[in-house]
Amino acid sequence: MEHWCRISEFRCRRLEFRPVFPKRGANLDEAGIPMRLSQYFMPILRDDPKEAEIVSHKLMLRTGMIRQEAAGSYSWLPMGYKVLRKIEQIVREEQNRAGAIEVLMPTIQPADLWRKSGRYDAYGKEMLRIKDRHDRDMLFGPTNEEMITDIFRQGVQSYKDMPRNLYHIQWKFRDEVRPRFGVMRGREFLMKDAYSFDISREAGQHSYNKMFVSYLRTFARMGLKAVPMRAETGPIGGDDSHEFLILAETGESGVFFDKDFFDMDWSAFDIDYDDVGAVAKVVQDFTSKYAATDEKHDAAEFEKRVPEGRRLSGRGIEVGHIFFFGTKYSEPLGCVVQGPDGKMVTVQSGSYGIGVSRLVGGIIEASHDDAGIIWPEPVAPFRIGLINLKAGDADTDAACNNIYKALEAKGIDVLYDDRDERAGAKFGTMDLIGLPWQVIIGPRGLKDGIAEVKNRKTGERSNVALDQIVSRFTA
RNA sequence: CGGAGUGUAGCGCAGUCUGGUAGCGCACCUGCUUCGGGAGCAGGGGGUCGGAGGUUCGAAUCCUCUCACUCCGACCA
C-alpha cells in the first residue's frame, strides 16, 4: 500500500503537466461545435450503474459518454464520441508529423490472407470468425499485419520507394474471454496501428525511434506522461519492443521505475524527425533509466541501478506498444524489394499501436476527483461550460446569450447549460462532466457586470468583467 | 474456459424462502412556492417481473430448460 502514497504525490504533479507544443494546424474536424445543453443528448445518471467497477467506467456511464450494447462493446454517445475524436485527431496529427501515411483497411478480412501467414489457426478463439453468403471464411480483424504487408508488397518493388510507414485508425475486434473495465478492455476497440518498412536494419531502427518519439509527443499533448518500458515481445515476437504506460491505480500491470522520469524534460523532443542522431538521443535518454512492467521487472537490477529514494512502483495502463520485427514477418510473407545493387532484400519491419478508445478511459483514470472527471484541455469535449444560474430571467438570459454567441464566433467549444435547473444541480453536473473552465453567470454578479470563471482542476475562481470573458479565452 | 453471483420502471433496489396479479428512492410530467452548491408541497405517467415451457383455480414467487450481464481466476491494446 505504501507505494500508492508515493505514486499519488506524483499523480498531482502529473496532472499539472501541460502540453508544450504549439498547435500547428487546429483540429479542423473538432473546432468549436458549441452546444446548448437543453438541446444536447447527454443522459446523466445520478447513481453509479452497478456493472461498473472502476472509476473511469462509472464516470463514462454517468456522464452519458457511452452505453453498453453487449459485453465489451459500446455505443459512443455525443460527448464520449467528441472526446474519442479529439484523441484520434491528436494521434493522427502526430503520426503525420512523424512521416507516417494514413490509409484505411477494412474491419472484415478474408481468412485466406491469414492462412498464408499461418496465423489463422494460431490466433485462437480471440479471433471472431464469420462466414459470408457464399460460405467463404471471413474474420473481424484483430490486427492488420498480414493485410498491410500485402498492400506494401503489391505497391513497392524498389529500395527507391522506401522507407515507408503506413498507418490506419480503425475498429478492431478481439473476442476476449472476459472483457471488463468499460472501454479500457472492450472486445471492440479503436486502435491506431502503424507499420514501417525499411531497407536496412539501421533504417528500420530509425523508423522505430521516430515512432518512439512521436508517442512521447502524442501522449504529452493529451496531458499525459506515458512512461516507455521495455516489454515482452510476447507472441508477436521481434527484436525490440516498448510499452507506454500511464500510471493509474486500476492499471493492469505492476510497474517499477525511476523517479527521474518525472523530472526529465518532456519538451525536449520537439525535434527534426530526419535528424537520425537527435531522434536516437531522445530514445537513448528515455530508455537508459530503469522502467519495467512486472513481467520484465528484475528486482536486483532495480536496486542496483536506482537509488532507494528514487524507486517508484505502482500500476500502469498500457496505452501504446511498439515492436521492431526485423524480418520476422517479411521473410515468411516474402516481402522483398530490389536493392541498389540489383539484389533482392528482405524488408525490415515494425508495428506500432496506440489504443485510441482505451485512452479515453485511461485519461479519466489518471485525471479525476470525487466530483467527477477533470479533462485535460486538449481532449476535453468542450473547453468551457457556460452556466446560466437563472434561466428564464431576461437579463441573465441575455448576458449568457451574448457570451455564448461571442465564444461561438471565436470557434471555442462551449457547452451552455441553459436548462431551467437549480444552481446546485448545474454546478454538480458541470463538475461531473469535468470541462476545464466554467463561466458562471447569475443575477448577483450581473449587477456589477461580472461573471465568475472557475478552473475545474484547481477549483480557482475569479471574477471577470463580462466584456473581458471572450478575450480571456482567446488570448 | 473453471468458480461465484445477478436479471423486477431510465438508474439504484425491496418483494421470491412462506404463490393471491407489483412497490420504494432518484429521475420524468403538471401546478404552486422556492432559486449562487443536487429545494418543498400537491397531483401524475411509466414495468411482457430476461425468455420459453411446465405445475396450479391462480406464478415475479415453485420446477425444467435457455439467454444475457457482472465479479474472481487463466488471457490480452
Identify nearest nucleotide to residue A444 by CA to C1′ distance: B36
Cβ-Cβ contacts under 8 Å for A61 (sequence gap 6 or more): A45, A48, A49, A52, A67, A68, A182
Q: How far is the CA of A256 from the C1' of B22 (A)?
A: 55
Contact status, residue A432 vs residue A371, Cβ threshold 8 Å? yes
Nucleotides of strand B lying closer than 7 angstroms to a protein CB: 1-2, 10-13, 25-27, 34-39, 68-77
CA dihedral A460, A465, A471, A475 (to 10 degrees): -40
Protein residue nearest nucleotide B70, by CA to C1':
A51
Splitting chain A (475 residues) into consecutive groups of 10 residues, what average pLDDT does each group show? 37 41 44 84 92 94 95 95 97 97 96 88 89 94 92 95 97 92 94 96 95 95 91 62 90 89 78 94 91 87 91 91 88 91 95 96 95 97 97 95 95 95 96 98 96 97 96 91
Q: How far is the CA of A38 from the C1' of B34 (A)?
A: 22
Coil, helix or strand at residue A62: helix
Identify nearest nucleotide to residue A72 by CA to C1′ distance: B69
Q: How far is the CA of A428 from the C1' of B73 (A)?
A: 39
pTM of the model: 0.93
C-alpha cell at A119: 496465423
C-alpha cell at A421: 435547473
Q: How far is the CA of A44 from the C1' of B31 (A)?
A: 26
Residue A347 carries which DSSP code?
Answer: P
Identify nearest nucleotide to residue A234 by CA to C1′ distance: B76
Identify nearest nucleotide to residue A357 by CA to C1′ distance: B77
CA neighbor of A34 nearest in space, from A441, A403, A467, A376: A403
What ranges in A74-232 are assigned the alpha helix state H?
Answer: 78-97, 111-117, 119-122, 145-155, 201-221
Identify nearest nucleotide to residue A442 by CA to C1′ distance: B36
Question: Which amino acid would we find at residue A192?
Answer: K
Q: How far is the CA of A294 from the C1' of B52 (A)?
A: 49
Q: How far is the CA of A50 from the C1' of B65 (A)?
A: 28
d(CA A253, CA A248): 10
d(CA A329, CA A471): 55
Q: How far is the CA of A242 from the C1' of B66 (A)?
A: 46
For A166, phi and psi rounded to 5 degrees? Answer: -110, 140
Q: Residue A15 has what pLDDT?
A: 37
Protein residue nearest nucleotide B69, by CA to C1':
A71
Q: How far is the CA of A51 from the C1' of B63 (A)?
A: 30
Identify nearest nucleotide to residue A243 by CA to C1′ distance: B77
C-alpha cell at A76: 459512443
Q: What is the ipTM of this complex?
A: 0.94
d(CA A135, CA A66): 35
Q: Residue A277 has what pLDDT?
A: 96
Task: Count Cβ atoms below 10 Å from residue A65 Cβ, excluding itself.
Answer: 30
Q: How far is the CA of A329 from the C1' of B52 (A)?
A: 51
Identify nearest nucleotide to residue A43 by CA to C1′ distance: B10
Identify nearest nucleotide to residue A142 by CA to C1′ distance: B77
Protein residue nearest nucleotide B72, by CA to C1':
A178
Q: How far is the CA of A334 from the C1' of B70 (A)?
A: 46
What ranges in A306-375 are assigned the alpha helix state H?
Answer: 356-366
Q: How far is the CA of A391 from the C1' of B46 (A)?
A: 28
Identify nearest nucleotide to residue A451 by CA to C1′ distance: B36
A163 cis-preceded (ω within 30 degrees of 0): yes
Q: How far is the CA of A60 from the C1' of B31 (A)?
A: 36
Identify nearest nucleotide to residue A184 by CA to C1′ distance: B77
